[in-house]
Amino acid sequence: MDLYFLLYQVLVIVIDFSGLGIGILVLQKDIKNPTNQLFFLMTLFALGWITFAYLSDFPFLFQNALLFNRIIYFFLSLFFITVYFFSFYFPRKEKISPFFRIINKFYLIFGIFISILALFTSLIIRDVRKTPWGTDLVLGELFPLFAFLGCGWIASLFILIKKFFKLPSHEKLQIKYFIMGFLIFLFANIIFNVIVPHLRGTYEYYWFGNLSIIFFLGFTAYAIFAKHLFGIEVILTEILVGIIGLLLIVQIFTAPTILWRFINILIFILFCIFGYFLIRSVLREIKLREEIEKISQAKTEFISITSHQLRTPLSAIKGYLSMILEGSYGQLPEKVKEKMENVFQSNERLIKLVNDILNVSKIEAGEIEMNWERVDLREIIKEVINELSIKAKEKNLYLNFEEPKEVPKVLLDSEKIRQVILNLIDNAIRYTQEGGVNVKLQMSKGKLQIVIADTGEGLTKEEKEKLFKRFSRGTAGTKFWTEGAGLGLYIVRRFVEMHNGKIWAESEGRGKGSTFFVELPIK
């Protein structure tokens, strides 16, 4: 039992120091950010809770056990409050509706009220009883109010899940890390505070559930650093080295003979040496990766700024060329007009290329904003087909739309989905020489599916595998349109993924046409 309690003590010390280190690391990374501030407070309250839970189990401190348990529930109340408000700011703050502003004020006042009751009265915790495993609680009349306060923690999970469907992919990843830590902590408490007591009739192992809070804090910190994860790796390495080091120290003092004690001391010294080199190598790797990230960020910013600077003069050139071709400055000779039209088309291609590069830089920097609205996909498809029908007629191709009688309106960014459909149909027309393009909108397994089938060049298996990657072009692309940069389908894929949808292509082979599928969830 002494060894068991020593392990508990070692784990509490390790978690306290590592948790505090994580909290300080997150706070100093961006001290003015409410997300980082709330996480730091959340960490302090959680560590206060597990520390006093540990102290309340000391047999010689039993006379203070009631005070310690009231402090535990004081910290728990504040922990629930900070987790709830953290969900509104993580991974980014969104506009809060007037209804939620009222709810938030009520929850804050209610939470502070419960924390004061827990600390200074017997209404939450009335008394404690000594047990073989530590202490047992006698609950007060108003303890159900504390349980109601705890529901805010579950509410925070639903708030983040609701956010999940509206955020870009890197922010979705952040929420996934948070939920992962949340679930590990939840399941650990279910196992050690519900299942084990039911099977063994003892709460002896309840502290395993408490100490699993480090997973919640660790994964949440990792989520906050989702774009700058490197600093957290040092902390995690140091935690691992620290835990193993403390366990080796325990082995030294619990060794049965002097010989084993001497062997354990040698093992500890060797471990310290290798641990030092391990941490130093992690620091070196982190430094190298941070430099690479800075170079990558500088490259993205350069491309973005350059694209913006290019777009303005190109738009001006387009305007002047349009006026010249319309005869605003006098009629042009036929040969000159033909050449000016070629210049105009070249300028249009440059504008498209600049827009594509700008979109890619924004996507990779996580700066693309989603403007959600409920729309009828049929209207978007018909607009695109009307726009591209002239191009199809010029090549003697058919362009048909199999319009369903009824489809549900869906929540999406209409401009981005329009760009997806426009790009796919435009590509189908460009790479089809005979026949035409057929567009279909249909329901498939509870989702909306846009199907764009052409009678063009088709795709090989190798082309299908790399079709939606950056700067990737098939042989048909280089054969029929040499000016393309291979960014269009990459942007299309990313826009579809931002809607939690899927895109893929099917083809029976060269010369047998291609079919592109865009699948969007109905929300």
Q: What is the pLDDT of residues 309-335, one digit of tens each?
A: 776 787 788 887 888 888 887 788 888
Instruction: Classify each residue of 393-402 as buried b or exposed e, where b means 16 or more C-beta atoms within 10 Å of its C-beta.
Output: eeeebebebe
Band of pLDDT at residue 13, cut at 50, 70 and 90: confident
- Does position 252 have pLDDT exceeding 70, yes or no? yes
What mean pLDDT do residues 258-287 have?
81
Residues forming beta bridges with residue 439, ordered by sequence position = 401, 452
Angle at Cα 234 formed by Cα 231 and Cα 236, nearest 5°? 110
The amino acid present at 429, given as its one-letter code, is I
Cis check for the bond before 91: say yes or no (omega within 30 of 0): yes
Q: Which of 61, 15, 407, 41 is nearest to 210 (CA)?
A: 15
Query: Quick one: tokens of 351?
Result: 């504008």
- The string of DSSP letters for 309-372 reads HHHHHHHHHHHHHHHHHTTTT-PPPHHHHHHHHHHHHHHHHHHHHHHHHHHHHHHHTT-PPP--
pLDDT at 41: 93
Residues forming beta bridges with residue 211, ordered by sequence position = none
What is the model's pTM? 0.52
pLDDT at 451: 93
- Does position 339 have pLDDT exceeding 70, yes or no? yes
pLDDT at 463: 82
pLDDT at 231: 53
At 416-426, the pLDDT tens digits run: 899 899 989 99
- 202 Cβ contact partners less than 8 Å away, ≥ 6 residues apart: 132, 133, 196
pLDDT at 380: 92
What mean pLDDT do residues 376-405 have?
90
Query: Quick one: tokens of 117?
Result: 């009751």
Band of pLDDT at residue 229, cut at 50, 70 and 90: very low
pLDDT at 517: 92
Whole-number Cα distances in Å, 404 to 136, 398, 421, 515? 65, 19, 17, 19
User: Which residue has better confidence, 230 or 76?
Assistant: 76
- Does position 24 have pLDDT exceeding 50, yes or no? yes
pLDDT at 204: 66
pLDDT, the chain, mean: 80
Q: Which has the minimum average pLDDT: 308-312, 347-351, 371-375?
A: 308-312
